Amino acid sequence: MTESGDTGSVTPQGQGDVAVPDDIATAAVQDAARQQPPVAQRAAWADKFVWQSLLKAVAVVLLTLFFLGIAWRAQTLLRELAVAFFFALAMIPAVKGMHERWGWKRGVAVGAIYGGLILFVVLMVLVLIPAISNFADQLSSSGGNYADKVNSYTQDLVGQDLISQDTGAEAGDTAGSGVSAWADNIVGAATAGISMVFTMATILLFTFYFAADAPRIERALLSRMPPHRQKVVGWIWDTAIDQTGGYFYSRMLLVIINGGLFFIAMMLVGMPLAYALPLSVFEGFVAEFIPAVGTYIGAAVPILLTLVVQGLTAALILLVWVLIYQQAENYWLSPKISAGTMEINGGVAFGAALAGGAIAGPMGAFMALPVAALITSIIKNTGKTYDVVYQSAYDSDDDHTEALPTPKGSGGEAAPAGA
One DSSP character per residue, 71-130 reads HHHTHHHHHHHHHHHHHHHHHHHHHHHHHHHH---HHHHHHHHHHHHHHHHHHHHHHHHH
C-alpha pair distances (Å), 244 with each of 52, 240, 329, 343: 46, 6, 21, 11
Q: Is the pTM value of this prediction over 0.85? A: no
- What does the alpha-carbon distance between residue 211 and residue 418 come to, in Å, rounded to a whole number? 28
In 3D space, the residue among 275, 276, 295 whose CA is nearest the CA of residue 284 turns out to be: 295
- What does the alpha-carbon distance between residue 99 and residue 111 come to, in Å, rounded to a whole number? 12
Please list the pLDDT of the chain residue by residue as tens digits (419 residues): 444 444 444 454 544 455 667 777 676 666 665 655 556 566 666 667 777 888 888 888 999 998 888 888 888 888 888 889 988 988 998 899 898 889 899 999 999 999 988 888 787 777 766 766 666 666 665 555 666 666 666 666 656 555 555 554 555 555 555 555 555 555 555 454 566 777 888 888 999 999 999 899 999 999 999 988 898 889 888 888 888 888 888 888 889 999 999 999 999 998 888 788 888 888 888 888 876 677 888 888 888 888 877 878 899 999 999 999 988 888 888 777 766 566 666 677 777 777 877 887 777 777 777 788 778 877 777 777 788 888 888 776 555 444 444 444 444 455 565 55
- What does the alpha-carbon distance between residue 318 and residue 307 come to, in Å, rounded to a whole number? 10
- What does the alpha-carbon distance between residue 282 and residue 259 come to, in Å, rounded to a whole number? 8
- What does the alpha-carbon distance between residue 184 and residue 48 come to, in Å, rounded to a whole number? 70
- What does the alpha-carbon distance between residue 22 and residue 9 come to, in Å, rounded to a whole number? 6
